[in-house]
Amino acid sequence: MEIVMSKNGKQTSKNVGSLASEVLRDPSSSAIQKQLAASALSQANSDKQTGSTMETKASNVLQSDKYSDTTKTLAASVLAQSNKER
């Protein structure tokens, strides 16, 4: 029996890609912002999906009140590109 994982074909939008680029260039960006930005950019124009570790981090960001709108936007993009079966 062959196990086939479903593929999520979503990609990072141009707006989120630009935001991610700004975050990575900004020396005051937090570590979690940079991780989410890097993940989002790696999925722009690509069929890559979010890994389970980054998926968990993004989920935690969205469930917390302590993160900025920028961080939550990046987290939402990263989660939208996760494996649908997880």
58 against 10, higher pLDDT: 58
Residue 8 belongs to some domain of the structure: no
| 5-9, 29-33, 68-72, range with the lowest pLDDT | 5-9
Which of 53 and 46 is assigned the larger pLDDT? Answer: 53
Mean pLDDT of 53-82: 95
Counting the structural domains of the chain, the total is 1
| Model pLDDT for residues 59-70, shown as the tens digit of each residue | 999 999 999 999
35 within domain boundaries: yes
Task: Report the percent of the chain where pLDDT is more than 70.
Answer: 83
Residue 36 near residue 57 (C-beta atoms within 8 A): yes
The reported pLDDT for the residue numbered 8 is 47
Q: How much is the pLDDT for 22?
A: 97
Euclidean distance between CA atoms 85 and 67, whole angstroms = 27
Which domain range does residue 60 map to?
14-22+30-41+50-80
**Domain-located, residue 55:** yes
Give the predicted TM-score (pTM) of the model.
Answer: 0.81
Query: In this structure, is residue 5 part of a structural domain?
Result: no
Tell whether 85 is covered by a domain. no
Contacts of 5 by beta carbon, 8 Å cutoff, 6+ apart: 83, 85
Asked whether residue 36 is assigned to any structural domain, the reply reads yes
Instruction: Say if 3 falls within a structural domain.
Output: no
